[in-house]
Amino acid sequence: MTANEKRRGLRVLIIFTAYTVVLVASLVTAYEIRFDFNLPQDEVRQLPTHLLYVVPFQLGFLLSMGPCAGLLSYFSLPELRRLFLGLAIPSIGLSSWSAFYSANSLPPQSVLLAQFVLAFGGLCASRLAFRIIRERFLTPNGKPKRQQRRIGIIGAGDVGSSLARDLLRKRGLGMNPVAFFDDNKNKWRSRVHNVPVLGAPELLSDPGFHLHLDEVVIAMPSASAKRIKEIVELLQRGNRRFTTVPSLDQLASGKVQASRLRQVEIEDLLGRDPINLDKRNIEHCLRDRVVLVTGAGGSIGSELCRQISQFKPAQLLLLDQSEVQLFQIEQELLERGEGHIIKPLVADIVDELRMRQIFREFLPQVVFHAAAHKHVPMLENQPAEAIKNNSFGTAQTAKLAQEYGAERFVMVSTDKAINPTSVMGATKRLAELYVQALHGAATNRTRFMAVRFGNVLGSSGSVVPTFKRQIAAGGPVKVTHPEMTRYFMTIPEAVSLVLQSGAFGSGGEIFVLDMGKPIKILDLANQLIELCGFKAGEDIQIEYVGLRPGEKLFEELQHTGENLAPTNHPKILRFISEPLSFESITDQFAKLRKCLHALEPNELKLLIQAIIPEYRPFLGPSVPPATLESSTNKAREQSRALPNRLVQIEPSFA
């Protein structure tokens, strides 16, 4: 017999014994009440017979109704209902039998009625007692918890109140709330669930404040990132342990409770105020439509799938080259009950036959194109693959969207496409040019647009997971340059604005998301080290490794020649520029395709520069003049048929 089977058998035995004791005691007590606690000898002699008939009959009904099958320490309204029916049905049956047949083997009807009331109350009390023992005195694993940690809660609002209630009810978690702290002065010197609100969070850093706290919980999911950062800094100065509650979205979904605490993440400190979306506009764009997301397994693509599914599309096509990543987002959406609308598709966007078959079969009406190669240093040495995937793959997907009558095509781009110095940025800029030119072509009814944003916190391969891995290994944390800055957004924020841009775009625009102020990578490293409980320069060292090929110190927001125009959303900007002719861009793409694997990496970069004059390619730290002359001449030869304004190649170094 396994350990689980033994525990299950023990649980059933305890429940059976407890129910039997309650039923026997309630019947004996009912007799005593019926005869004013002076039981006649005749009734005393009949009592064992009555117990023999009544108690097994009631136990049988209780077992058939299912209460005994549940966990002993869980008791809620469904169990209460089954318990009532499990006692009421046999009691009514026994009472009816006693009334119509005058059976001497059964108690009087008054005794049966009293016994029903007493038994129901006794069984409910026993189940509630077991529940209280589990919640207040046992851990989730069922082991006794004696030592209670003293918890201070910052935020005496709805979330803080819910957290305190959960912790007080579930003492087995080992957390005892003893004080609240809140910015609202009107709440000071009041009580929430009998826990006092002592004052503002700054009280925790007051030298005169001597209340012992084992941990502080930040229960302010709707507070600004600036305020959260201030609170974290004062807690760090006081060397206090701290955690926080789940995000507002998680709490609103009802999937997690406030007591599901987590560590404070860098996203909590760098995020911005909640975004107000025009959800009616987005719903009008997506509801009852077939929506295709390319790169659905990636950081941006998977979040697109999560948010799009909330707007009830007729079908959501998840397309990715990696079946491992595709499987993960598929399983997540299945668990959320979206299995009836999703369709996972393993496909490579550069595979024309497969992509054409998908468009022909499913006829997507809205396309969000997030598939791309994005790792800057890796692509510098293999520009052909970047061109093939980022530029040609985008062009092919956009052309198929137009051919099969899609209503909208939204390309996810990057701020690295602005005055690019990397192959990744340059190939994304090529894709932007193609999408704009395609929209400007005659007889086009598909709305094409692109959305640019900066680095995304927590995306695969981004700086935050890299720094966390280096911190976990004991350092050093490798920073490229002390003055390097980047724009950052959270994944949900970026995707929400992508959806908003796609909904109100009229076509031909490049949208740029308001990414706030640029953040120094050095500051980001210091904050992450402190959040992990270490001190930069003491516990974890920071090492400067220098700029990698293709990297900039600062990212830019706007190309020369792009005109800024407002939109209906304060966090979205629109750039409008004169597109290239579609014939010109397709001719340039054809020339690139022809020599894609015939040129060396530096030669390909120079050829891209012939199409994008503002591109400043990294050609290596020390290219011999003769080699550079040869590469330049070869690139000139390959691009000599390009328009005159685009063929002036001036080699430059990053």
Domains, in order of start, for the chain: 3-137 (no CATH), 149-264 (3.40.50.720), 279-455+489-515+553-576 (3.40.50.720), 598-646 (no CATH)
- At position 326, the amino acid (one-letter code) is L
User: Which pLDDT does position 389 carry in this prediction?
Assistant: 95
Looking at residue 392, the DSSP 8-state letter turns out to be I
Report, as an integer, the average pLDDT of 490-500.
85
- The residue among 460, 628, 456, 654 whose CA lies nearest residue 548 is 654
Looking at residue 387, the DSSP 8-state letter turns out to be I
User: Residue 28 pLDDT > 50, yes or no?
Assistant: yes
3-state helix, strand, coil in the chain (%, to 5): 50, 15, 35
Tokens standing for 123?
């069984």
User: Which pLDDT does position 649 carry in this prediction?
Assistant: 29
Distance between CA atoms of residues 146 and 125, nearest Å: 24
User: Which pLDDT does position 458 carry in this prediction?
Assistant: 65
- The residue among 361, 363, 374, 372 whose CA lies nearest residue 402 is 363
- The residue among 396, 383, 294 whose CA lies nearest residue 350 is 396
**321 neighbors 301 (Cβ within 8 angstroms):** no
Please, which pLDDT band fits residue 67 given cuts at 50, 70 and 90? very low
Please, which pLDDT band fits residue 630 given cuts at 50, 70 and 90? low
User: Residue 650 pLDDT > 90, yes or no?
Assistant: no
- The residue among 270, 217, 240 whose CA lies nearest residue 464 is 270
Choose the most confident range, by mean pLDDT, from 26-35, 38-47, 249-258, 340-349.
Answer: 340-349
Listed range (197-211, 273-287, 290-304) with the worst mean pLDDT: 273-287
pTM of the predicted protein model: 0.66
User: Which pLDDT does position 132 carry in this prediction?
Assistant: 65
Tokens standing for 425?
């940025």
Tokens standing for 30?
């009912």
Please, which pLDDT band fits residue 272 given cuts at 50, 70 and 90? low
Q: What is the pLDDT of residues 592-622, one digit of tens each?
A: 988 888 888 898 999 999 899 889 898 865 4
Report, as an integer, the average pLDDT of 437-453.
85
The mean pLDDT value of the chain amounts to 79
Count of C-beta atoms within a 10 Å radius of residue 320: 28
User: Which pLDDT does position 651 carry in this prediction?
Assistant: 31
User: Residue 258 pLDDT > 70, yes or no?
Assistant: no
